[in-house]
Structure formats: C-alpha cells, structure tokens
Amino acid sequence: MTLTLAGVGYRYAGASRPSLLDVDLELPDGTVVGLVGPSEAGKTTLCLVASGLAPRTVGGQIRGRILLDGEDVDAWPMHRLSARIGIGFENPATQLSQVAGTVFEEVAFGPMNLGVSRDEVVERTWEAMATMRIVDLAERDPARLSGGQQQLVAMAGLLAMRPAHLVLDEPTAQLDPAGTRLVGEAIARLAAGGASILVAEQKTDLLAEVADRVVVISDGRILFAGPADETLADPRLVEAGVAEPAPVRLRRAAEAGGVDPARLVVPVDA
C-alpha cells in the first residue's frame, strides 16, 4: 500500500496565493517520512491534503493527484478515506469526541463509526490502547486527563481504525519528554507493523530516531529531501530555519572547536 502525492498544489478558499506547489511525495509501506520546515512553510496544509481533509472538509482548491496503491482518491468521500488514512493533530483536546465517558469508549469511537462488529471494535480498542501503553487509563474520563495523556489517547483512537497510512501533525508539540518518547516508540512499532507514516515535527531529535526519510518544505514547496541521516545533517536545514538534531549540533561544535567528533565521549549520566 503506497500513498502517493503527484504534483499536488493547494490553495485555501479566499487565499491570494497557493499554500502548496508541485509537491511530489511517496509513502510506501513501513516507511516513516519526517516533514520539517519553518513556520508557515505549509506543513499542516500538506498534512491536511495528504489525509484528504483538504479540500473535502476545509474547502479550497487542489491540483495534482493523490493515489492509494495507484488508485486516484479524488472522488472518495471522507469517511471512506478515513478508514485508510488516519490523521492526528497538535491539540489533543480538540481530537476528543466529547461523547465518550471513558478512555476505552474514546478509543473505540472510530471503529464504532466504521460499523465493524462489536467484537472487532473491542479487540481493536484494547490493541490500540496496549500499543500506546494506556490500558491503565481505560476507565478514566478522557476530558480529565493531562494534555500528554490525551494525545496518547487520540493516537490510540487513530490506531484503532487500523489505517494503512498515518499523518501526524506535530503529535508531540504538547508532550513532555516521556510522552514524546512514547509517541516515538509507537511510531517505530507501527512502521515495523507495516504502516506508512508522515509526521510533521519540530523535534528533529525525534525524527533522527524514527524517520527513514525527511522532507524539508518552505513556502509550500519541497526544498530538498532524502534519507533522514543525510537530510538532518544537511547544512541547508539551518538555512531553511529548522534546528538540527542535537548530535549534529554537537558534531559541528566539535569541528568548529578543532576537536575530532569521533573522540567525543558523552557520559551517559551527564
């Protein structure tokens, strides 16, 4: 299963200029693609377009083609697309359904909407909660969880729909380091299980750990892209307004100070 964006451009309704221009992107099975760029680069717009929410829900005009396994999804309604492509947003509070009294019901909300059998809803729900390590929260009221816990619940809700592709827009923006690590682990496990994941993320350290490829975007265009380790070490990254991962910064600082990076030793408990 491959999600392909071919020559995609997008303009919001009423906007004077497009927010995306000629974007080509491919997400094959089991691949994590990181999306980075400065503010207003078009990351969120690309996530909305890749998930199908733009223009179906957001409005606006789209050019180019979006393909699922080679099939053009242009005429697909959102509910059909949502069973194949899941999207998670930055703000966990707005991703909660507001009709669930417990975390279990919140995670089950998506599969319940899909109309699958009750047994399957229950199975998917437990499975997704186990993946996100939130089984202990099953009985809690989702509205009374911390922001980090709510984000994990929201992601579990996406996973319970068993989409082939996941689009995550800044999923760790409101998470502490422990929550960020959990999300990173979940992304890696999902990719290992065959999902393709597009993740827009400011935390390049996280992308360095989980992404196979990284795409750098600015002004709605892809500036450059490539394997994660190469792209995240590319000097053009900083010029594009994106912070390098800590190891890259450390290596550069060592080189600038005349120290051989290979001889750097960082104490584990530092």
Partner 1 sequence: MAGRVRLNDPHPARGLPDFLGRPGPTAVHRLNPLTKATLATVTAVAAVALGGLVGPILLVSVAVLVPAAVAHVLVRLLRTALLLALPIAVSAFLVNLFFFPGAERILLRLGPITASAEGLEFALQILVRILAISGAVTLFYLTTRPADLVVDLERRGISPRAAFVANASVQTVPAMVDRAAQITAAQRARGLDTEGSLWRRIRGILPIVGPVILGSIAEVEERTMALEARGFTRPGRRTLLWAPADAGIERLARWAMVAALVALIVSRVAGIWT
List of residues contacting partner 1 (CB under 8 A): 1, 29, 48, 51, 53, 56-58, 69, 77-79, 82-83, 86-87, 89, 91, 93-102, 104-105, 108-118, 121-122, 126-128, 130-131, 135, 138-139, 143, 154, 157-159, 161-164, 166, 189-190, 192-195
Question: Smallest distance from the beta carbon of 112 to partner 1, in angstroms?
Answer: 5
Question: Smallest distance from the beta carbon of 33 to partner 1, in angstroms?
Answer: 16
| Interatomic CA distance for residues 167 and 50, integer angstroms | 7
Query: Would you say 56 or 181 has its CB closer to partner 1?
Result: 56
| Interatomic CA distance for residues 150 and 174, integer angstroms | 10
Q: Which are the contacts of 130, defined by CB distance < 8 A and separation ≥ 6?
A: none
Query: Would you say 24 or 120 has its CB closer to partner 1?
Result: 120
Query: Would you say 86 or 220 has its CB closer to partner 1?
Result: 86
Query: Would you say 126 or 224 has its CB closer to partner 1?
Result: 126
Q: Rg for the chain (alpha carbons), in Å?
A: 19
Question: Smallest distance from the beta carbon of 119 to partner 1, in angstroms?
Answer: 8
Question: Smallest distance from the beta carbon of 73 to partner 1, in angstroms?
Answer: 14
Here the tokens at position 116 are 């699958």
* Contacts by 129-133, CB closer than 8 A, 24 or more apart: 129/103, 129/104, 129/156, 131/156, 131/159, 131/186, 131/189, 131/190, 132/156, 132/159, 132/182, 132/186, 133/182
Question: Smallest distance from the beta carbon of 114 to partner 1, in angstroms?
Answer: 5
Query: Would you say 189 or 252 has its CB closer to partner 1?
Result: 189
- Say how many C-beta atoms besides its own lie within 10 A of residue 16's C-beta: 6
CA 212 to chain centre: 13
